[in-house]
């Protein structure tokens, strides 16, 4: 039995960050990763970084015709980038003297013991502290023929496949919309099938309408129930019910984008006495500790928001438990922003208008189309004045309850709005703040001045 102070299962953002911190603090750390292609975690290898690299390539091409050779070059450039980042991330831990990198699939054999298997080889180890950081996997819907492989893809495998002439996306949520935007710019014909009345149905109607309008040429089939997916050597067929009629759409590739679930199937958590939720997430308290003291879960696997920056903050909480005073918790989190990298991006934070009204707030709404904002020249400078800015304000306190930003640089400006919300800076203060000119941030002067 090999003994460590800390064992980290999975090389995600939270796991790799805390592994380095604890190693530098003198702890003997084992980091376990099932694939050498995933050193550094999902974000740099198959998710955030590679998809945004492809989106940049799609945006940079003035022609929007179908060009599989351009796509192949973009994929090759993306792979070189992620390869370099993977090497750097590996060295960041492997070069530390008291970190041991273990390749293989880990499972619990007891509360503080693991076995790691790689082919016919296995290694047993124990650790005082174990961090589960295995991420998430795509949800496979209960639809006939919905099995990944061939022409039916996850958001990961689609990026490595040839550019489809016609891509059919099942799901009009965040992943589906981002990929619809990207592949339509690469020249694919894109059809999105969604069971809801409109894509991004949890957003306010005006917001989802503006975002959908950014996706030039994308066909949306809403209020549709997919009942069957099949594929042949030549194409894939999606059968769905719309308006009580069964219909079929065919494409070269299908992306199933119906969310992700915690990746815990192979961990044998029950053997360790680790409790899970109904969807398989590791059940944790506000300090991210599981039902077994000393076993923590970070990132997607604990059922929280599925963002890399949340996994990073998870590492801060657990580090504080191990090395600090242990007071930091996820209950401290407020105003967590997010972005869909459409062109231009859609960023949001806090409550929608509908959510604020349902919560009983008396609200004021500041909303303007970007093209009509005179004090926001940046989008016009770069040639894309599409989008809108919408801010929900508590009429009684003048505090910001939420915002939806759809414009150039929205992924940056939303951080300022979120910071203001966390520190209770009023809408009036944001309205009257001095901003750089020309920038996208200065739009807040004019938009918030409408209420």
205 is catalytic: no
Q: Is 175 annotated as a binding-site member?
A: yes
Catalytic residue among 166, 205, 423, 437: 437
Give the H/E segment covering residue 399: none
Q: Is 27 annotated as a binding-site member?
A: no
Strand partners, 101: 31
Q: Is 304 annotated as a binding-site member?
A: no
Q: Is 193 annotated as a binding-site member?
A: no
CA distance 332 to 349: 16
Q: Is 360 annotated as a binding-site member?
A: no
Q: How many CB atoms lie within 10 A of CB 1?
A: 7
* DSSP output for 267-294: S-HHHHT--B-TTSPBP--TT-B-SSTT
Query: What 3-state DSSP class applies to 250?
Result: strand
Give the H/E segment covering residue 144: none
Walk across the sheet containing 189-193 and list its strands: 152-153, 253-256, 166-170, 189-193, 219-221
Q: Is 173 annotated as a binding-site member?
A: yes
Could you tell me how many residues make up the chain? 451
Q: 369-391: string of b/e by CB count within 10 Å (b at 16+)?
A: ebeebeebbbbeeeebbbbbbbb
Closest CA to 42 of 278, 301, 256: 301
Backbone angles phi, psi at 444, to 5 degrees: -65, -30
User: Tokens 């792979």 correspond to what residue?
Assistant: 79
Closest CA to 163 of 253, 62, 45, 49: 253
Q: Is 172 annotated as a binding-site member?
A: yes
Q: Is 135 annotated as a binding-site member?
A: yes
Q: Is 16 annotated as a binding-site member?
A: no
Q: Is 52 annotated as a binding-site member?
A: yes
Q: Nearest 5 degrees, angle CA 369-CA 58-CA 88? A: 110
What residues are designated binding site? 52, 134-136, 171-178, 259, 300
What residues are designated binding site for NAD(+)? 171-178, 259
- Would you please indicate which residues are annotated as catalytic (active-site) residues? 437
What residues are designated binding site for FAD? 52, 134-136, 300
């Amino acid at each position: 039995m090999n003994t460590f102070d800390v064992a980290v299962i999975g090389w995600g953002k939270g796991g790799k960050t805390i592994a380095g911190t604890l190693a530098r603090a003198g702890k003997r750390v084992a980091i376990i990763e099932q694939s050498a292609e995933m050193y550094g975690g999902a974000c740099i290898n198959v998710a955030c970084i590679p998809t945004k690299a492809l989106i940049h390539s799609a945006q940079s091409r003035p022609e929007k015709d179908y060009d599989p050779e351009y796509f192949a070059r973009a994929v090759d450039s993306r792979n070189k980038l992620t390869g370099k980042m993977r090497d750097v991330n590996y060295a960041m831990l492997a070069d530390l003297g008291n970190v041991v990198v273990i390749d293989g699939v880990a499972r619990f054999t007891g509360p503080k013991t693991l076995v790691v298997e790689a082919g016919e080889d296995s290694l047993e180890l124990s650790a005082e502290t174990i961090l589960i950081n295995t991420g998430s996997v795509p949800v496979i819907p209960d639809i006939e023929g919905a099995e990944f492989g061939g022409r039916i893809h996850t958001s990961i495998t689609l990026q490595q496949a040839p550019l489809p002439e016609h891509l059919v996306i099942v799901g009009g949520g965040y992943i589906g919309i981002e990929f619809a935007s990207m592949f339509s710019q690469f020249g694919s014909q894109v059809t999105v099938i969604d069971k809801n009345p409109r894509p991004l149905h949890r957003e306010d109607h005006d917001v989802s309408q503006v975002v959908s309008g950014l996706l030039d040429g994308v066909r949306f089939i809403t209020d549709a129930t997919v009942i069957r997916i099949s594929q042949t050597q030549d194409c894939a067929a999606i059968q769905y019910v719309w308006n009580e009629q069964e219909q079929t759409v065919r494409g070269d590739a299908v992306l199933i984008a119906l969310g992700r679930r915690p990746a815990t199937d192979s961990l044998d958590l029950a053997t360790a006495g680790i409790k899970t939720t109904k969807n398989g997430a590791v059940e944790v308290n506000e300090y991210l500790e599981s039902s077994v003291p000393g076993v923590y879960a970070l990132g997607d696997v604990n059922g929280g928001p599925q963002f890399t920056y949340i996994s990073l903050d998870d590492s801060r909480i657990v580090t504080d438990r191990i090395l600090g005073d242990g007071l930091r918790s996820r209950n401290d989190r407020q105003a967590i922003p997010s972005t869909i990298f459409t062109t231009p991006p859609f960023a949001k934070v806090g409550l929608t208008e509908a959510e604020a009204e349902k919560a009983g707030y008396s609200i004021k709404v500041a909303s303007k189309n970007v093209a009509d904002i005179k004090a926001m020249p940046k989008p016009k400078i770069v040639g894309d004045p599409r989008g809108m800015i919408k801010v929900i304000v508590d009429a009684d306190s003048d505090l910001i309850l939420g915002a939806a930003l759809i414009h150039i640089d929205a992924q940056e400006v939303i951080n300022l709005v979120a910071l203001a919300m966390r520190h209770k800076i009023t809408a009036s203060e944001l309205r009257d703040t001095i901003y750089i000119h020309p920038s996208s941030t200065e739009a807040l002067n004019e938009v918030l001045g409408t209420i």
